[in-house]
Amino acid sequence: MLKVGIIGYGTLGKSIIELIQTQQAGNVDVKTVLIRSAIESSSYPFTITTDENVFFNQNLDIIIEAAGHKALKLYGEKALSSGSSLMILSSGALADIDFYEKLQIAAKESNKQIFIPSAAIAGLDRIAAGVLGEIEEITLITRKPTKSWYGTFAEEKVDLETIVEPCCIFDGVAVEAARLFPENVNVAATLSIAGIGFEKTKVQVYVDPSIQSNIHTIKAKGFFGQVEISVQNVPFKQNPKSSPITAMSVAKVLKNLTTSVVVGI
């Protein structure tokens, strides 16, 4: 049985734990959760702690980061150095190439792995395979409803209270998108890592008041041919910046690690 620790106990962390506890993530057990502020935790079947030393000293097989870029930069190397593999959800932080390289070095020195789930997008298996040949271009087009953009850079570009037509608030490359939209465009970072890199992956970002779902479209062309994949993700009601499919994607990775048959990698 895999012993799992989770950094973060917000909407996403709780959803991941629910999938594990309902036996949808394979032979996995949540041992501990690291949080910022103490809560009453005597009734939980796992340890909840604000003490990072308590958290990292529980001989965990894998640690799941579900707390944002700042938490990943604070605890990523320590997670790997503690002897655990690391699953990253805030992949936009890896646009900081120096930080990404430090994580890779820590993983190699500890003989552990870094996992980056598909999360909110699809088709990464095709992109990762296609990059073994020549890929000419990859573009990500992200559209999210108005409610997903409050508290973000988008508020500097449009009036979220009055917008009535879709508006492109960014047209550039992934490295800049990840910096401007750390909580909204992790998909751009994940796609960049699977494909042709942060500097070459094109990204367009839209605020779209006409939709209710988060829509991500990937277009790629190369030696393998062409692919266009579009997904519509229902956002969490509690946190519209993320989607339940992200937690489901984590559960799939965990299940792959504990099952005898693995499909779609």
Residues known to be catalytic = 216
Q: What is the rounded CA–CA span in Å between residue 264 and residue 189?
A: 21
CB atoms within 10 A of CB 134: 11
Residue with tokens 């299940």: 255
Could you tell me the strand order of the sheet in which 202-207 lies? 167-173, 202-207, 135-144, 214-222, 225-233
Establish how many alpha carbons lie within 13 A of residue 226's alpha carbon, considering only the half-sphere containing its beta carbon.
Answer: 3
CA distance linking residue 182 with residue 93, whole number of Å:
7
Consecutive H or E run containing 20: helix 11-21
